[in-house]
Structure 1
Amino acid sequence: MKEDRGGLKKLIELAKRGQIDAVVAYKDRLTRFGFEVKLFKAYGVNVIVAFQDDKDHTQELMEDFVEIVKSFA
């Protein structure tokens, strides 16, 4: 949930310059809430999710909630 991640900033800069066509990342490693995915797509960069799991939306929502609570603890 940190926004000051150096690797993410570098990827965004590369996308702005048009130096990358795609980003491959594990689910929830690139972003937690989807903003960066939309940002990359706005620059014409495809986001490819590696190793998707078969969790349902309720299970993912609960895991997200737990992570948010842990970040405030």
Structure 2
Amino acid sequence: MPTRRSTRPSVSAATGWSVPRRESRRPARPEKTCPACQRPFQWRKKWERDWEQVVYCSEACRRGRPRGSGPRASS
């Protein structure tokens, strides 16, 4: 029989008090808007050295392809 998940807030077994969720300690990542698709994209580790030169969110946007169109043959 599958177990059901509780919808109650998490409660410490020792004290009986509810435990608040810890907020993320990571700083917010820098963000840019892609000029091709107008979507926001965030900093990535692979762009660490040249974030200032990054303009597009993907290779497809850099090439000017619309989203969803790939090298498929149409019927």
Q: Which has the higher contact order (CA 8 A, sep 6+)?
A: 1
* Greater radius of gyration (CA): 2
TM-score > 0.5, shorter chain as reference: no
Relative to its length, the structure with more strand (as a share) is: 1
TM-score under structure 1 normalisation? 0.22
| TM superposition score normalised by structure 2 | 0.22
More helix by share: 1
